[in-house]
Chain A
Amino acid sequence: MKILVAVKRVIDYNVQIRVKEDGTGIVTDNVKMSSNPPDDNAIEEAVKIKESGKATEIIAVTVGEEKSQETLRKALAVGADRGILIKAEGTIEPLAVAKALQKIVDKEKPDLVFMGKQAIDDDCNQTGQMLSALLNWPQATFASKIEIKDKILEVTREVDEGLETIEVNIPSIVTCDLRLNEPRYASLPNIMKAKKKPLEILTASDLGIDIAPRVQQIKVEEPPKRKAGIKVASVAELVSKLKNEAKVI
């Protein structure tokens, strides 16, 4: 079985982002970048499946600028076998990413495609579902548990009401939630080895797809600031304020 894992390079989740003064976007110069956290869960799950003997190859793929190779190298360091970078500049919307991934799926014919449920930069939560639509494959989103049963995947999904279990036929798409597993760290020897693993670079035009944005970003602003609160000295004062000033209890 072959598993394709899609990853994205984003601003590190610990960074407090800043809005550009001219309102055209977010400051990314000299900001620490990392792989999108739930994509780490996607890679980890694929590696675990391979370690259990149920998968033979893991391909990591990303769409983005030249530097996204770093994100692929990280995936290779934790266990992916080879990487594919689809080089593209600027804003690439989920629909465009899904179209690019569809081309890679057509070529590589994986049995499973894993990715994070959402990227923590644009917070769209679309790509996996869009890819399954384009391929007409089943989709198992927000996965917190995956079990392979021959040609069927049993997936537990985190939904608002609690947990839902579905069965999907392989080939299928799985989008991964943070509680799916505990992503491992790459060891230094594996980071060194990853540098020698194959990494193919393509462009959107090589794939024959149009990735021009359809949604214009008009402006980006800071969220409205909350007015400064006060510190209370005691529990009694707190309850009194909530009762008589805020009138919420």
Chain B
Amino acid sequence: MSVLLIAEHNNKEVRPFTLNAITAASQINGDVHVLLIGNHCGDVAKSISEMPAVKKVLHAEAEYYENYLAENFAPLVIKISENYSHIVSSANTFGKNLMPRIAAKLDISQVSDITKVISADTFLRPIYAGNAFATVKSTDAKKCITIRPTSFEVCETSGGSAPIEKIEATEEFKSSKFVKREEVKSDRPELGTARVVVSGGRGMQNGENFKLITDIADKLNAAIGASRAAVDAGYISNEHQVGQTGKVVVPDLYIAVGISGAIQHLAGMKESKVIVAINKDGEAPIFSVADYGLEADLFEALPQFLEELNKLNSIQK
């Protein structure tokens, strides 16, 4: 049987984590069908059909699919679930919100946030904020899986030509209503997918001092992160939070500034390829995961850092 992947998109384009989820789905079984539920999202259907890993696109449209309420999406997924061995989505707020609603109605015990496909029924997943990894085997006939996007590569986006099949919408769930979304607009790369992340912690002392971080991030074309302590102290808004209660990031370069390295923060960044820690406390736990540690006062180190970057002939983007 085939694998059903539920696409995340904004009706104009597919959201990046869907590409990672398609890779994970194709590791379970090569016959990946993508379900696209939305409103006026024909362009998205077309772009998904061009991904070589996708064998078929199922496309359903309705006005009430515009804002991806789980209450509206779940019945449609359940309706077509019979033909599939696995139902897969990414473990971000989209998939986390939706998948358990599908799993419970199908009486399936979901496997959340997998980081590796070991076989069609066995998966690796982090527990305790990534402080341990469990190998788990689902005994349900059908599986509901969410995947950790940063643990899988993105799939190819061109060269394929999967058929697009229109399917009928299910009824609207009238007890829930979307009101509004306040998206944080930024010229910077998205935190979840940025190549470089520069993060500040409690050591920044206040919100204004994040300017020091911003200057470096501008130079490196980096996303800006923060520890929970910095968010709770009101220095920066929550969408910047990296950690167990924020976002999990796996950039090529992660620079932690004034961050002590609480377990919950490490959970969100310790898989980064190269980690830099700048902290005046030489005993701070962040140094235990850092490839390069600089024991220094950040208020001296950051301006120097910017100066050194300015001296370079070229910087990777």
Contacts and interface: CB of A to CB of B under 8 A. Distances in A.
A128 to B, nearest CB: 8
B85 to A, nearest CB: 15
A226 B181 CA distance: 39
Given A133-B101, A144-B238, 14 more contacts: A123-B126, A133-B104, A139-B71, A162-B239, A164-B178, A215-B137, A215-B140, A217-B134, A220-B135, A226-B270, A230-B292, A235-B294, A238-B308, A239-B309
A11 B128 contact: yes
Interface residues of A, number: 79
Contacts of A202: none
Nearest to A13: B264
Please list the 6 inter-chain residue pairs (A to B) with the smallest Cβ-Cβ separation, ordered nearest first.
A129-B100, A130-B104, A214-B109, A133-B104, A126-B100, A138-B176
A126 B111 CA distance: 10
Contacts of A53: none
Contact of B140 (A11, A98, A122, A214): A214
Contacts of B69: 166
6 contacts: A19-B132, A121-B128, A126-B103, A133-B105, A161-B183, A239-B305
Interface string B115-145: 0000000100011111111111111100000
- Prevailing SS type, chain A contact patch: mixed
B293 A124 contact: no
Q: Which of B98, B104, B177, B178 has the most CB of A within 10 A?
A: B104
Contacts of A161: 181, 183-184
Contact of B274 (A16, A167, A178, A248): A248
Nearest to B146: A125
Contacts of B94: 159-160
Contacts of A188: none
A221 interface: yes
A130 B239 CA distance: 26
A138 B173 contact: yes
A168 B179 CA distance: 10
Contact of B104 (A98, A166, A223): A98
A220 B315 CA distance: 41
Interface in A157-193: 157-169, 172, 177-179
Interface of B: 69-71, 74, 91-94, 96-105, 107-113, 122, 126-140, 173, 175-184, 192, 196, 220, 228, 231-232, 238-239, 244-245, 247, 252-253, 263-264, 270, 273-276, 282, 287, 289-296, 301, 304-305, 308-309, 312, 315-316
Interface in A84-135: 93-96, 98, 120-134
Nearest to A96: B109
Contact of A129 (B70, B109, B128): B70
Interface in A205-242: 213-223, 226, 229-232, 234-236, 238-239, 241-242
Contact of A246 (B184, B247, B253, B304): B253
A217 B134 CA distance: 7
Contacts of B175: 137-138, 168-169, 172
A26 interface: yes
Contacts of A217: 134-136
Given A139-B176, A235-B294, A162 B274 contact: no
Given A94-B110, A162-B239, A235 B274 contact: no
B130 A223 contact: yes
B137 A216 contact: yes
A122 B294 contact: no
Contacts of B130: 223
B309 A249 contact: yes
A167 B179 contact: yes
B247 A220 contact: no
B136 A216 contact: yes
Given A139-B101, A164-B181, A94 B93 contact: no
Contact of A167 (B176, B232, B287, B308): B176
Nearest to B251: A248
Contact of B92 (A94, A160, A168): A160
B133 A166 contact: no
